[in-house]
């Protein structure tokens, strides 16, 4: 069986991180989303993958290439114009044989392998299968309703009410007849699913473990927390240097050639990527992921945050409930304020207007290659676009 992974779309609501990467190339808990998906496919015995790409596709091609290093066979299909899921899938027809295949949305993340249960369901039922999940809110997704045989009986695309209901989880086993349906319905994938439900039937496979479809930048933090919560033990590379007294608690993962100075406390689950440096007396708290080639200065505290890599956090800083893009740096004394004065839910101001996050604890979102000078305070929900330069907050007497 082959797998098609859709990795072409550009999701503007993930600004300030989507301008410089495609969503599947966001690094979560030390691993790219797409890397995580491909490893799950390999574990499930799927080695032939068709990747549909467009936005920032060179990042995918440079990192994965032909897939040989991962023991996989990757082929690339370019969706020149972003015309939706159905159109992207239609481009893959000539790359498939006349057998069932997996369709995978490339921006979905799970904490365990979802391909094992959906393939088992397909083997048992011998019909098309859709993975379904139950998020806290189903407003952003296609809502599905089930009959007594766990077949999908109805589909409602993005209902107005904010409720909890089963949704399509972005993973399907489909038969080649889907391409005829796409042609019939002008590449409207929802219409195709509806016709399948009404005629041959679409079997549901219920996913009851962690599942995240990242729509807004704060979902990166939720996805990072979900993956780290599944860690069972500490992993420290033999080349890592822990100098003097370094205190470790819980599931701490430390990559190759990392140096951690004396007095630092690491509270897992947390992750420090390869070739990184952590200065004396730093505090790295739960659910912090520090990407490779990063520096954390003396006396700094990190809590529930994601640093994509090549970051430099100045000494005596606090970065909490925040995400920093690749190459983002700060001078000493950076403070990310992670709650309002009265602890009301944080609102983010995006290009499309104000967005209610529903979160009481939320820090800042700093794009790639942002340079923040010394002694700055970023308010809750602050968004800094990539490449921005903020001079030192300087007082001259």
* pLDDT recorded at residue 249: 96
* pLDDT recorded at residue 106: 93
DSSP structural state of residue 345: P
CA angle 26, 265, 219 (to 5 degrees): 25
* pLDDT recorded at residue 354: 87
Quote the CATH superfamily of domain 2-215: Spore Coat Polysaccharide Biosynthesis Protein SpsA; Chain A (3.90.550.10)
Within this chain, domains 2-215 and 229-390 share the same CATH topology: no
Query: pTM score, two decimals?
Result: 0.92
Give the C-alpha separation, 325 to 293, whole Å: 13
Helix (H, G, I), strand (E, B) or coil at 191: helix
Give yes or no for a contact between 289 and 271, defined as CB atoms under 8 angstroms apart. yes
Quote the CATH superfamily of domain 229-390: Hexapeptide repeat proteins (2.160.10.10)
Region of 343 (left: φ > 0; alpha: ψ -120 to 50; beta: rest) is left
The number of CA neighbours under 13 Å toward the Cβ of 213 is 20
Q: Residue 182 corresponds to which tokens in the numbers above?
A: 């796409």
Distances (CA, A) of 330 to 105, 295, 341: 35, 10, 24
Domain range annotation of the chain: 2-215, 229-390
pLDDT by position in tens, the chain (length 397): 999 999 998 888 899 999 999 999 999 999 999 999 999 999 999 999 999 999 999 999 999 999 999 999 999 999 999 999 999 999 999 999 889 999 999 989 999 999 999 999 999 999 999 999 988 776 777 788 898 889 999 888 766 666 668 899 999 999 999 999 999 999 999 999 999 999 888 999 999 999 998 889 999 999 999 999 999 999 999 999 999 999 999 999 999 999 999 999 999 999 999 999 999 999 999 999 999 999 999 999 999 999 999 999 999 999 999 999 999 999 999 999 999 999 999 999 877 778 899 999 999 999 999 999 999 999 999 999 999 999 998 666 5
Give yes or no for a contact between 49 and 73, defined as CB atoms under 8 angstroms apart. yes
Positive or negative: CA dihedral 220, 225, 226, 228:
positive
* pLDDT recorded at residue 364: 97
Give the C-alpha separation, 192 to 176, whole Å: 12
């Amino acid at each position: 069986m082959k797998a098609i992974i859709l990795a072409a779309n550009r999701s503007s609501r993930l600004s300030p991180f989507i301008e410089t990467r495609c969503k599947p190339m966001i690094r979560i808990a030390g691993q790219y989303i797409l890397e995580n998906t491909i490893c799950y496919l390999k574990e499930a015995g799927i080695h032939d993958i068709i990747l549909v790409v467009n936005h920032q596709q060179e990042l995918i091609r440079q990192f994965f290439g032909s897939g040989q290093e991962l023991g996989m066979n990757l082929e690339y299909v370019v969706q020149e114009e972003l015309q939706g899921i159905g159109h992207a899938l239609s481009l893959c027809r000539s790359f498939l044989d006349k057998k069932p295949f997996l369709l995978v949305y490339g921006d979905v993340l799970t904490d365990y392998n979802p391909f094992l249960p959906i393939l088992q369901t397909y083997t048992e039922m011998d019909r098309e299968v859709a993975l379904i999940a139950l998020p806290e809110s189903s407003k952003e997704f296609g809502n599905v309703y089930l009959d007594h045989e766990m077949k999908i009986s109805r589909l409602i695309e993005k209902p107005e009410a904010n409720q909890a209901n089963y949704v399509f989880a972005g993973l399907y086993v489909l038969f080649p007849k889907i391409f005829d349906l796409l042609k019939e319905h002008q590449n409207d994938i929802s219409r195709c699913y509806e016709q399948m439900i009404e005629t041959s039937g679409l079997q549901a496979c219920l996913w009851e473990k962690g599942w995240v479809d990242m729509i807004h930048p704060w979902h990166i933090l939720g996805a990072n927390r979900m993956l780290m919560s599944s860690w069972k033990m500490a992993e420290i590379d033999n080349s890592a240097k822990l100098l003097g007294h370094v205190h470790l608690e819980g599931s701490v993962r430390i990559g190759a050639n990392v140096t951690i100075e004396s007095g630092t406390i690491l509270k897992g689950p947390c992750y420090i990527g390869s070739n990184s440096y952590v200065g004396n007396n730093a505090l790295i708290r739960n659910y912090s992921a520090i990407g490779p080639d990063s520096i954390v200065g003396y006396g700094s505290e990190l809590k529930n945050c994601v640093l994509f890599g090549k970051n430099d956090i100045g000494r005596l800083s606090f970065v909490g409930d925040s995400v920093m893009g690749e190459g983002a740096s700060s001078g000493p004394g950076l403070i990310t304020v992670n709650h309002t004065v009265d602890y009301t839910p944080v609102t983010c101001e995006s290009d499309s207007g104000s967005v209610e996050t529903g979160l009481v604890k939320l820090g800042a979102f700093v794009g790639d290659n942002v340079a923040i000078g010394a002694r700055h305070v970023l308010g809750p929900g602050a968004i800094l676009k990539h490449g921005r330069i903020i001079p030192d907050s300087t007082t001259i007497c």
